[in-house]
Amino acid sequence: MRSKSLLLAGLSLSFLLNLQAQTTGISGKYEGTADLQGTGTLKISAEISEIGNKITGVIHTPLGDAEIIEGTYSASVLALTVDAGGDDLLLNGNVSADRKISGQVSGEIAKGTFELKRVGDIPPESETKAVIHQSKDKWHEDLRFLAAELPKKHKNAFNLISKEQFDSMVADLDSKIPSLSDEQIILGMGRIVSRIGDGHTGLGWAWLFPRVPIRMFWFGKELRVVQAGKAFPRLSGARITRIDGRKVEELYERSREYIAPNESEQYVLNADPYLLTYPVFLKVLGAGNSDYGIKFDFTDLRGHKGSIELKAAAPGEKIDWIEAYKTAPLYLQHPDEPFFYEYLKDAKTVYVNFKWYPRRPQFKKFSNELFNFIDKNDVRKLVFDLRLNGGGDFTRGRDYFIKPLKERKKFLERGRLFTIIGRQTFSAGMANSADFRNDLKAILVGEPTGARPNGYQENRSFSLPNSHLPVSYSIELYKFSETDTPGIIPDKLIAPDWKSYLAGRDPVMEWILSYPSMK
């Protein structure tokens, strides 16, 4: 999630630096300030890499990082495009003999000046790439660095766990490091970070380890395989009953130790099936003794029981998936698009699927097309589906969905506007769900959201000094509801059910379409 100020301080820069050429090039680490109207002076730094004609890097600010996604450096001009919020800023500057870059900032969201000075070289990738295996001394250093930095950076690290409890957990892990494997140490640190409580604070470890080729989902008390690797067709739709002989219900309870405890139960329901696909995680829970494979007991769609030893796929390995359903319901269609809409003519209903937040130009274009269609057609109901929305910049949702809806009074009548939420509705997705209820009186349908409406969010990150594992932390306390509930509670609770999913039906949309229509 981003606050509006991040459009600035994230230096959501598409910026143009007119620099006087230097024969030594522009690669390097830079530090300095940006003095912006209405914001004041911000300390900023940059890492700029020039390889041939390609410019890459990142801009660091107090409120977030901005990645350089493209750039050119030719004839004394350095042109960089940086995506960190969807708005463009232009920086025009010159390089002095002592390697200072100074000039003007201009753009729709900010005006001012900036100054950067080169302070060193960029370390080779081998010195900044995350590693899994290292000496015990380095793990001790990383743990102590984590214990010192996380409380200083988090908005309120001890809002749930006490400092004494936190220090005790750190001391306990520190004493055990000599007898633990690298994987156990990493998961041990992850457990400590999760105890801070919020879902925006965590240790980034999962992307480093192999996963078994299945994806699971809790339907009530049944853990079902919703996607299976092509090599395992019998697992598609199967109910998983045990993993390495352990009941999945038992593993669910054990996994809580590694999942942020101060979000909703839906957050746990969403996180647990993902974690249970990692052999290294299962090993820490006492299920299995291998980092690369695990045994699953299951009941297939024909009711036949079986067991299978699944080998984990390496991180990034391409997997061809088999879906459990034969026909995808509307909300699972177009999975690679941030949003799409469809007119259900017979019901005179426009359905909008809203999964994530692209850059503002794309968002604005979609919004214009959507409301142009709504204005020119007979639309009696409008549905915004955020059940797969895991977050982004909630101000874009407000600017391009909430604000235009406020101008169309027709949809402020009860029974015309609906918002679908669920366990994967998190961060900015949760915030905009609250906006639909608070500002537009929409009827919310589905499950409670994964994120609490009032809690710590707006994450930033730092890296551990030796392993370079990323640690995210929250910097803001947001309150999107007058009442403090564990997740935003829908007006109509409809939990996912397995039979409907398998058949490609969507009971949530069926309920909305059956709701008495407004003329």
CA nearest to 264, candidates 272, 26, 236: 272
Q: What pLDDT shows up at residue 85?
A: 58
Q: What pLDDT shows up at residue 9?
A: 36
Query: Across residues 477-494, what is the average pLDDT?
Result: 96
User: According to the CATH classification, is domain 330-451+487-514 in 3.20.20.70?
Assistant: no
Query: Tokens standing for 324?
Result: 């459990």
Q: How many CB atoms lie within 10 A of CB 89?
A: 27
Residue 323 pLDDT greater than 70, yes or no = yes
How far is it between the farthest Cα atoms of the chain? 76
What's the CA gap between 236 and 89, in Å, rounded? Answer: 48
User: Each residue of 288-300: pLDDT tens digit?
Assistant: 888 788 999 999 9
Q: Taking the CA atoms of the chain, what radius of gyration do you get in angstroms?
A: 25
Confidence class of residue 18 from pLDDT cuts 50, 70 and 90? very low
Q: What pLDDT shows up at residue 435?
A: 98
User: Each residue of 372-395: pLDDT tens digit?
Assistant: 999 999 999 999 999 999 999 999
What's the CA gap between 426 and 519, in Å, rounded? Answer: 34
CB 17 within 8 A of CB 101: yes
User: According to the CATH classification, is domain 6-122 in 2.40.128.120?
Assistant: yes
Q: Which residue has the higher pLDDT, 120 or 109?
A: 120
Kindly report the CATH number that applies to the domain delimited by 130-324.
2.30.42.10
* Residue 293: burial class (beta carbons within 10 Å; 0-12, 13-18, 19+): middle
Q: Which residue has the higher pLDDT, 398 or 113?
A: 398
Q: What pLDDT shows up at residue 363?
A: 95
> Residue 202's Cα: distance from chain center in Å?
12
Lowest-pLDDT range of 23-32, 86-95, 508-517:
86-95
Confidence class of residue 102 from pLDDT cuts 50, 70 and 90? confident
**Reported pTM:** 0.85
Q: What pLDDT shows up at residue 3?
A: 43
Lowest-pLDDT range of 48-52, 333-337, 494-498:
48-52
Q: Which residue has the higher pLDDT, 70 or 119?
A: 119
Q: Which residue has the higher pLDDT, 161 or 89?
A: 161
Q: What pLDDT shows up at residue 125?
A: 60
Query: Across residues 250-254, what is the average pLDDT?
Result: 98
Q: What pLDDT shows up at residue 128?
A: 65
CA angle at 467 for the pair 463 and 468, rounded to the nearest 5°: 25
| Percent of the chain residues past pLDDT 90, beyond the cut | 71
Residues 426-459 as b/e (b if ≥16 CB within 10 A, e otherwise) read: bbbbbbbbbbbbeebebbbbbbbbbbbbbbbbbb
What's the CA gap between 214 and 308, in Å, rounded? Answer: 12
Domain ranges of the chain: 6-122, 130-324, 330-451+487-514
| Sequence letter at residue 344 | L
Q: What pLDDT shows up at residue 103?
A: 79
Residue 14 pLDDT greater than 80, yes or no = no
CB 183 within 8 A of CB 237: no
What's the CA gap between 469 and 21, in Å, rounded? Answer: 36
Residue 22 pLDDT greater than 50, yes or no = no
What's the CA gap between 212 and 127, in Å, rounded? Answer: 30
Distance separating the N- and C-terminal Cα atoms of the chain:
37
Residues 348-375 as b/e (b if ≥16 CB within 10 A, e otherwise) read: ebbbbbbbebbbbeebeebbeebbeebe
CA distances from 58 to 47, 69, 285, 479 (A): 5, 9, 37, 31
User: Each residue of 166-193: pLDDT tens digit?
Assistant: 999 999 999 999 999 999 999 999 999 9
CB 200 within 8 A of CB 458: yes
